[in-house]
Structure 1
Amino acid sequence: MSDLLYSEEEEALRSALRDLLADHCDAAGVIVRTESDAPHDRELWKALSEGMGLAGLLVPESQGGQGATHREVAVVLEELGRAVAPVPYLTSAVVATEALLACEGEEAAKLLSALASGRTVGALTVALSVAPGGAYKAVRYEDGALHGELTGVADASAADVLLVPAADGELYAVDADAVTVTPQVSLDLTRPVATVVFDGAPARRLGAAGPAVRQGLRAGAGLLASEQLGLADWCLTETVRYLKDRKQFNRPVGGFQALKHRLAQLWLEVVHTRAAARNAADALATGSEDADVAVALAASYAAPVAVHAAEETVQLHGGIGMTWEHPAHLYLKRAKANSLAYGTAGAHREALAELVDLRAP
């Protein structure tokens, strides 16, 4: 049986990353970025990828990566979730990287090394709402070029290269400057989505699209639970701290029994989410035959917990929690957007029922 506790190396990684984010990703700065035309923090991405080598955690050392596992990536995503960091880590270092790992050939290997360095950002052009194994839209491939339009692509505006499934069943690489990327209205401005238009964009074949897309989306869904865990943990910690300091009737607000009960319930949910997210990360890391079950379980449980935690943060902070200056709205928006990413909780519960043979009558 796997040990789901954090190792010393994982805790050291967490500590170093939390210090970096404290210096480079303050809440006020993130709020300002969401009001600009460039929500992604390029300097933070450079510090994470080139400074700490985190973009290549899933890439083998022989291909320029760190040769780590999904467990280490899960720790990174927990901390990025705590900071609501506006970087394309999940979409590039996890989803796009996993899709490339499922491909063979020189072109895929070259792109994998580029993504591992962090100097190239990748994005899989499948709508953010698509669950692992779900149907997705493809574009037309003709005479070495792609034609069509794809919507709901996360972090497309930050990508240098796009991994595009085509109707012929193949996955192609397209340089971002060969397509038209138009931002869509997005609730979570720290992970914006966009429409990508291919009008004769030159394409390079990578491999079969089906297995690559499924592997990428499965890793995205499983490790998104760790980001949701980090988000929920920040919400709980910050709310407890605020309720200890805030006084009403000359006593700390956190001393009122009704609020204690709400916080105790939220603590239990966060603890359960941690167990599910760690199990999913470990199952992906070890290639467990139960990885699909672990991912579906974590994804179905973590999303509503993150939303609940963010909602409680807004409400229990009172008036200050409703303001634009307080970061609570960043967490609520990320939690709500994440609840639709890589499949809804309901879709994952349905998949879980199929996997464990508990179909509805």
Structure 2
Amino acid sequence: MTFTDEQEALRETVRAVTERHAAPWKVLCDQVGVAGLAVPEAHGGLGAGLRELQVVAEELGRALVSAPFLGSVVLATQALLESGDHAAAARLLPRLAEGSVAALAWTPKNGAWDPDEVAFCANGPTLDGHAHYVLNGAGADVLLAVAETDQGIGLFELDPQHARIVPSTGMDETRDLAEFELVQTPATRIGTGDFRAGLRRVRDVACAVLAAEQAGAAARALDITVAYSKQREQFGRPIGGFQALKHRMADLHVLVETARSAAYAVSEPNVDVSRLAAVAKTYCSEAFSTVAAEMIQLHGGIAITWEHEAHRYFKRAHGTTHLFGQPHHHLSRITPTVM
């Protein structure tokens, strides 16, 4: 993996902000421009690419920052860019670059995040259906939804005053999720034609960015565990000095570094983004879950107390495993089906 000087500077800046501020999102938007990271310069953004999104996601993952990054900066912004609707982009993207939050309602209750299976159905100018796991849906200023139409999948904008939004409580308290219940809800079409291919590309970008977040969170969880193993004593010596635990943490280090490589492989030039995004989502989900489980075990009883941060990493690992499709869903995109 190679990073430009600008990318390394972005990493250092985001890490410094997350370390200094308990609620860093406003600072990241106002002083770093994270909200407009993927928005083209013509619409007031920074015009950054996938790797820059991953760099920010990795640092946000390390600190388990609760922010509308995946939901607004990644999912919704990418959906608008993929729509090809220049008028809608010119109207909405500058708002997102300035810090307005957008949400994309997509998946039904099964949480498959499948471009061929969406939560809503379009009936003329209205939408009906029930979407689950809508990132940052409860506080969003711009509401987007994908729905089945007579011509395939379409992207729509909803009026927040007409959409019924129900906040949902998941295991991970740091991830803002909601449900959208639409009954003959007025909607405005964005773009023309079948949005299915664009939705696949949106999912690939989301998986790649989430994989970087998982790698960052796994790395930080391992750092915390190693530091604790040097403090906790058994039989008159730190447990980190026992050979068996040294081997376990060495294995976890290799797992974390491999996960990071898998995540950033997606943003290398001239690669099969779709396939590598599936690889990254599958591998990083399992790697993070393994590290989080080991974190709980190696910390002992203190790890399951509310005061310790170990349980937060464990919950984030569980939540991200299901987000944007479970690993076995993506595994089927990597390996051919055997008849």
- Assess same fold via TM > 0.5: yes
- The yes-or-no answer on 1:343 pairing with 2:325 is yes
Matches for 1:95-134 after TM superposition, within 5 Å: 95-103=75-83, 104-118=85-99, 120-127=100-107, 129-131=111-113, 133-134=115-116
- The yes-or-no answer on 1:75 pairing with 2:55 is yes
Structure 1 contact 105–206 (Cα < 8 Å) conserved: no
Once the two structures are TM-superposed, the CA of residue 158 in structure 1 deviates from its matched residue by 2.5
How many matched pairs? 331
Pairing partner for 2:5 from 8, 14, 19: 8
2: CA distance, partners of 1:237 / 1:6: 22
Identify the residue that residue 334 of structure 2 maps to in structure 1.
352
1: CA distance, partners of 2:328 / 2:128: 33
Pairing partner for 1:213 from 199, 206, 210: 199
Identify the residue that residue 303 of structure 2 maps to in structure 1.
321
Structure 2 contact 54–208 (Cα < 8 Å) conserved: no
Identify the residue that residue 28 of structure 1 maps to in structure 2.
none
Pairing partner for 1:291 from 267, 273, 276: 273
2: CA distance, partners of 1:298 / 1:228: 10
- The yes-or-no answer on 1:154 pairing with 2:140 is no
Once the two structures are TM-superposed, the CA of residue 80 in structure 1 deviates from its matched residue by 0.6
Pairing partner for 1:22 from 19, 29, 35: 19
2: CA distance, partners of 1:136 / 1:145: 15
Q: How big is each residue's C-alpha offset from its partner over 1:136-155, in whole Å with a ceiling of 9 and x where there is no partner?
A: 2223333x333332223222
C-alpha spacing 1:318/1:230, structure 2 compared with 1 (3 Å): same
Any gaps of 5 or more consecutive residues in structure 1? 26-40
2: CA distance, partners of 1:297 / 1:101: 24
2: CA distance, partners of 1:203 / 1:69: 30
Pairing partner for 2:239 from 235, 250, 253: 253
Structure 1 contact 131–221 (Cα < 8 Å) conserved: no
Matches for 1:257-268 after TM superposition, within 5 Å: 257-268=243-254
Q: Please report the TM-score for the alignment, with normalisation by the length of structure 2.
A: 0.92
Identify the residue that residue 37 of structure 1 maps to in structure 2.
none
Range with bigger deviation, 289-298 or 206-215 = 206-215
2: CA distance, partners of 1:58 / 1:48: 14
Pairing partner for 2:158 from 150, 157, 174: 174
Once the two structures are TM-superposed, the CA of residue 289 in structure 1 deviates from its matched residue by 5.0
Structure 1 contact 48–54 (Cα < 8 Å) conserved: yes
Identify the residue that residue 313 of structure 2 maps to in structure 1.
331
Once the two structures are TM-superposed, the CA of residue 108 in structure 1 deviates from its matched residue by 2.9
Pairing partner for 1:87 from 45, 67, 71: 67
Name the amino acid aligned to 2:291: A
Structure 1 contact 98–216 (Cα < 8 Å) conserved: yes
CA RMSD of aligned residues (A): 1.8
Q: How big is each residue's C-alpha offset from its partner over 1:109-132, in whole Å with a ceiling of 9 and x where there is no partner?
A: 3212221221x1111101383345
Identify the residue that residue 183 of structure 1 maps to in structure 2.
167
Identify the residue that residue 35 of structure 1 maps to in structure 2.
none
Q: Please report the TM-score for the alignment, with normalisation by the length of structure 1.
A: 0.87
1: CA distance, partners of 2:265 / 2:275: 10
Structure 2 contact 107–113 (Cα < 8 Å) conserved: no
Q: 3-state DSSP class of the match of 1:98?
A: helix
Pairing partner for 1:164 from 126, 145, 154: 145
Structure 1 contact 223–281 (Cα < 8 Å) conserved: no
Any gaps of 5 or more consecutive residues in structure 2? none
Q: 3-state DSSP class of the match of 1:156?
A: coil
1: CA distance, partners of 2:223 / 2:54: 19
* Paired-residue identity, %: 38
Q: 3-state DSSP class of the match of 2:267?
A: helix
Once the two structures are TM-superposed, the CA of residue 16 in structure 1 deviates from its matched residue by 1.1
2: CA distance, partners of 1:23 / 1:83: 11
Name the amino acid aligned to 2:322: L
- The yes-or-no answer on 1:56 pairing with 2:36 is yes
